[in-house]
Amino acid sequence: MSFDNAYEAVSEANDEARWAFGTGFEDPLAGVDTTLPTGVDGEDLAAYCLMLGDDALIASHRLQEWCTHAPELEDEVALANIGLDLLGQARLLLTRAGKAEGSERSEDALAFFRDEHEFRNVRLTEIPNGDFAFSIARLLVFATWRLALLQRLADSKDPVLAAIAAKGVKEVTYHRDYAAQWTVRLGDGTDYSRKRMQTGLDAVWPLVDELFAPHPIERQLADAGIAVDPAGLRAEFDDVLAQVCTAATLTIPDAPPRAGVSGRTGRDGVHTEDMGFLIAELQSVARAHPEATW
């Protein structure tokens, strides 16, 4: 495929194209009008783009860890492709953040040269993979939440965010469907597979509430028509999870939320003990060979 810039790549005319990998964009938003919407603070928009971009980047990293470890070759390909979809979303969102804040920091600078406390992803994305059932439970929760968010973000007054979201809806719809099918297959399978799937869902659940706790910047930008207030997504999320769990003969967990530190969580740069190890692995090559190209 050949595009002049990433904005063209996410247009409706190129709906079937996969642009996350092998695009060769030195600047994913080259040629795109990145003028800030009227009345929007650039630093606030950048912070919001980092939230969504970091969610995608860290979730993508965890999914890529399944390469050579998935139960079947078909799932190796599926999980890798889901990870690449999220990586593509992260590229554009991080680049948008760099331009919005006026620093012109690149996607690579933001991915590889920030410290742990500067990342704004939800903690759900960073905890270790566990077994396959745990990772499927996490993907189901993450994709259901993110799909609901992107569907609404497609109406954002920021045209760059709107375009990224519209493309992402089509990708994350598949992510949710893939996870739901595996949830039903395991939950409505043998007694052993059902137990493993229920255990995975139980382990994920303490981090669900964080997805719907709005950060002040999310609320502010939502009022301006730029962002989405995640609190408004909970009813749709609960409905979808209830349908999937009913089909899978699973029980919606009743677990208290995992507390942050003094009320601060991933959106505030406060992460689990696992995040530091993930970041060290993610950034090791770039930090060992800064400015290297290949």
* Sequence ranges of the domains in the chain: 38-288
Specify the CATH number of the domain 38-288: 1.20.1260.10
Q: Can you tell me the distance from the alpha carbon of 9 to that of 18, in angstroms, rounded to the nearest whole number?
A: 9
Any long-range contacts for 111-118 (C-beta under 8 Å, 24+ apart)? 111/57, 111/282, 111/283, 111/286, 112/282, 112/283, 112/286, 112/287, 113/283, 113/286, 113/287, 113/290, 115/279, 116/269, 116/271, 116/275, 116/276, 116/279, 117/269, 117/270, 117/271, 118/269
**pLDDT of the residue at 31:** 66
Q: What is the pTM (predicted TM-score) of this model? A: 0.89
**pLDDT of the residue at 27:** 64
Contact 72, 101 (CB under 8 A): no
pLDDT digits (tens, 9 = 90+) for 234-280: 999 999 999 999 999 999 999 999 988 888 999 999 999 999 999 99
**pLDDT of the residue at 21:** 39
Query: Which segments of the chain have a pLDDT < 70?
Result: 1-32, 294
